Structure 1
Amino acid sequence: MPEFDLVIIGGGIVGASAALAGVRKGARVAVVDAGLAGRATDAGAGIVSPVALDRGELRPEWTSVITECVGYYRSLLAELDAIDPAGAGSATFEQVGELVVAGDDPQEQAALDAVAERLSRPEGRRAHGITKPVQTIDGADLRRYWPELRGDLRGLYIAEVGRVVGSRLHDRLMTATRRRAQGARDGAAFELIPGAGMLDPLDSSPRVRVGHRVLDAGAVLLATGAWAGADLAGFGVYVDIRPIRGQLVHLRLDGQQTGMRPIVNTPGGGYLLGFDDRIVVGATHEDVGFDARVTAAGQHAVLSAALDLAPGLSAATVLETRVGLRPATTDGLPLIGAVAPAIHVATGLGAWGLTLGPLLGELAARHALGDPLPTRLDFLRPGRPLLKESA
């Protein structure tokens, strides 16, 4: 009998969600986490939105997954609040709405018009799980929300969008997992093991080596983000996944309450988020490998774009710059499912990590423990053309 029913390699938002799902099912779960620099969970901006601005809505199945993952937040937060009432509140998640804005750039204007047209129809809103009509807002009204914005912008207000503190949600997921496992009568158990977990390709049953310790597992779930490709290479399985560096700058407006301001998003990729103690602006998209450094060019690019969008932020205090290595695939879609007997993967969430991670982590864990993966996720299977097996 293996020591653990499920060993999860990777302790970010996907791994933490998977651990909670495993314990819910009465499983003995271990999470192996190396604490690598550049983990996307720790740096993510925190936008939780059912509306994609960067790919058009050409794939209804993709829209459906995003909508389902956003809807899952309500039930997940209710569970976390019941287990950990002291952690409830805006420090984890808050529905603040979203302003999608564009200036005079023709491409951004066209993208904004496409979003407005899509959400103007009841069937379009239903596809995204949006119940309230969107509002068109001009520059003067936009500045009532964010006085720092420049005056020539126009935009849309989408009420049903939230923002989350990724590190806070991660910690609450781990707390809930521990508390559910403590005193469990169904055999559930949980252990967090620091260190680099290595899959052992020599054994017929899954084994994970962490230093001198060997963990026997009923199943293994790789939730190591952009590092998943290297983890699978020992099995002769090569996944097309790479890190995309994102640098985000954290600011503070002294004397300003920014925690309930709506998210400001743009079709061009720039955004502003207000939290209780800071404003987050971002982000870069850099294909530079596993380089998690803050760079002068990255900071300059982020601040230049932010100040072009909101000149009134010029007097803000710079608190810090965070860096996340987003796991990206060629087609921009996640990989979730089995890649070998008892070896599963959940990665490739890109910039959608904090939106998709909680639900996809749960579904991946349940699948690793024997539940069928919903057929609606077939288009995300690792066996699609993005995955190649060695000769």
Structure 2
Amino acid sequence: MQRLDVAVVGAGVIGLAVALELRGRGFSVVVADKGEPAKEASWAAGGMLAVDDPENPAELWPLSAWSRELYPEFLARVEDLSDLRIPLRTHRCLQGAHEGESSLEALQLVNELGLKGDGYAWTLQTEGSLDPRDLGAALRAACDRNGIAVKTMCAVEAITRELDGWKLATSQGEIAAARVVLCTGSWSGPRQLPVFPRKGQMMAVEMEAPLDTVVRTPEIYLIPRGGNRLVIGATIEDAGYDKTVHAADIAALKMRAEKLFPPVAAARVVETWAGLRPGSPDGLPLIGALEEGLYAAMGHYRNGIQLVAATARALGLEVAGEALPQIMTAYAANRTF
């Protein structure tokens, strides 16, 4: 049995990006996923690069800021390696909050777009968004084109130490690797890590005219997706691993969106779905070494798309034995809760 340098467990955007980063550093890499690549939380995500979202924990900001710095290079590299485009769909965000004061430029845009923004303090943020499905497809293609085997429908049932490496027992046989990176999202995986699912139901509608700005409040967000499509989200539920979409919840989301942006009332619903955000006890991701040769990158909650660039870079540095930025201590995978 061939022994690879690294086995990545989980093929969401985090796992695929980590695999690609490690391959770029010269490691041989295999990825195993119990389902299809980028079809769980990655597929369901909104895709906002929401570094300055006031709903995020303050402790997350340093990692978010680092990821924003890395993002242009990250996207360019994935596009180059995959030969696929990952367009930014928007470049600004109207952020509504229950406290604070509105800026003049934000109020002008609220009126220009026809939002019913009474009751919110509005600010205008320079912030991108992308379609996570574009990113997932490009990462998968980049892995395929660069010598990374992505094993689908390949459940990892156990991970055991073997001499100076690891043996993974999977539904498709055994994998031997010197190092293992767990990127299992809401699933705690073989090591029973402290992550859990937070369900989110969402919808996409077809508008009569396009919107060019993300609109986000604590209650609702509207994300233009190209053309006249608009994504509306999202519920936050403790429902275990249930991904059932409920018509009543979708109707409530649409009504909330109509109240903020009346043109949604005439929009046609074209898709509904639910995803499982990977939560952690303190709301921060788990990134880095668990023990010698075993690493984790999970628990990103609502920010996996935003944080993927920094997460992949951090794992690349750590696996290669290079120094990590000091900020990474706050997100250590083996920290005590």
TM-score (norm 2): 0.90
Alignment of 1:229-308 (within 5 A): 229-233=188-192, 239-254=193-208, 256-258=209-211, 261-266=212-217, 268-277=218-227, 278-308=229-259
Letter in 1 for 2:17: S
Residues 339-365 of structure 1: per-residue CA shift (max 9 Å, x gap) = 133111101100011100232033224
Q: Is residue 190 of structure 1 aligned with residue 148 of structure 2?
A: yes
Return the offset for 1:154: 5.3
Residues 11-68 of structure 1: per-residue CA shift (max 9 Å, x gap) = 11101111110110111111112227971100101100220311464x4xx3221111
Residues 1:269 and 1:191: Cα distance change in structure 2 (over 3 Å): same
Return the offset for 1:89: 5.6
Residues 1:338 and 1:269: Cα distance change in structure 2 (over 3 Å): farther
* Deviates further, 190-199 or 362-371: 362-371
Residues 86-135 of structure 1: per-residue CA shift (max 9 Å, x gap) = x3363xx2442011125xxxxx1x1x44xx7xxxxxxxxxxxxxxxxx75
Alignment of 1:1-391 (within 5 A): 3-35=3-35, 39-55=40-56, 57=58, 59=59, 62-85=60-83, 87-88=84-85, 90=87, 93-102=88-97, 108=98, 110=99, 112-113=100-101, 136-138=105-107, 141-144=109-112, 146-147=113-114, 149-150=115-116, 152=118, 155-158=122-125, 160-179=126-145, 181=146, 189-194=147-152, 195-201=154-160, 203-204=162-163, 205-227=165-187, 229-233=188-192, 239-254=193-208, 256-258=209-211, 261-266=212-217, 268-277=218-227, 278-386=229-337
* C-alpha distance in structure 1 between counterparts of 2:213 and 2:34, whole Å: 35
Q: Are 1:13 and 1:358, in contact at CA under 8 Å, matched by a contact in 2? A: no
Structure 1 stretches of at least 4 aligned residues deviating more than 6 Å after TM superposition? none
Q: Are 2:182 and 2:189, in contact at CA under 8 Å, matched by a contact in 1? A: no
* Deviates further, 202-211 or 276-285: 202-211
Letter in 1 for 2:51: P
RMSD: 2.3
Q: Are 1:219 and 1:369, in contact at CA under 8 Å, matched by a contact in 2? A: no
Aligned length: 332
Letter in 1 for 2:185: G
Q: Are 1:245 and 1:286, in contact at CA under 8 Å, matched by a contact in 2? A: yes
Residues 1:373 and 1:298: Cα distance change in structure 2 (over 3 Å): farther
**Percent identity of paired positions between Structure 1 and Structure 2:** 25
Task: Note the residue ranges of structure 1 that are not aligned, 5 or more in a row.
Answer: 103-107, 117-133, 182-188, 234-238, 387-391
Secondary structure of 2:305 counterpart: helix
Return the offset for 1:314: 0.7
Letter in 2 for 1:174: R
Letter in 2 for 1:344: Y
* C-alpha distance in structure 1 between counterparts of 2:330 and 2:24, whole Å: 27
Q: Are 1:349 and 1:357, in contact at CA under 8 Å, matched by a contact in 2? A: no
* Deviates further, 12-21 or 193-202: 193-202
Secondary structure of 1:330 counterpart: coil
Q: Are 1:38 and 1:325, in contact at CA under 8 Å, matched by a contact in 2? A: no
Secondary structure of 2:148 counterpart: strand
Residues 151-209 of structure 1: per-residue CA shift (max 9 Å, x gap) = 63652211x20001111112212222333x3xxxxxxx411111212333364531112
* C-alpha distance in structure 1 between counterparts of 2:127 and 2:198, whole Å: 25
* C-alpha distance in structure 2 between counterparts of 1:39 and 1:379, whole Å: 26
Residues 1:230 and 1:22: Cα distance change in structure 2 (over 3 Å): closer
Structure of larger gyration radius: 1
Secondary structure of 1:226 counterpart: coil
Q: Are 1:21 and 1:366, in contact at CA under 8 Å, matched by a contact in 2? A: no
Return the offset for 1:332: 0.5
Residues 1:263 and 1:224: Cα distance change in structure 2 (over 3 Å): same
Task: Note the residue ranges of structure 2 that are not aligned, 5 or more in a row.
Answer: none
Residues 208-231 of structure 1: per-residue CA shift (max 9 Å, x gap) = 12224111001110101010x242
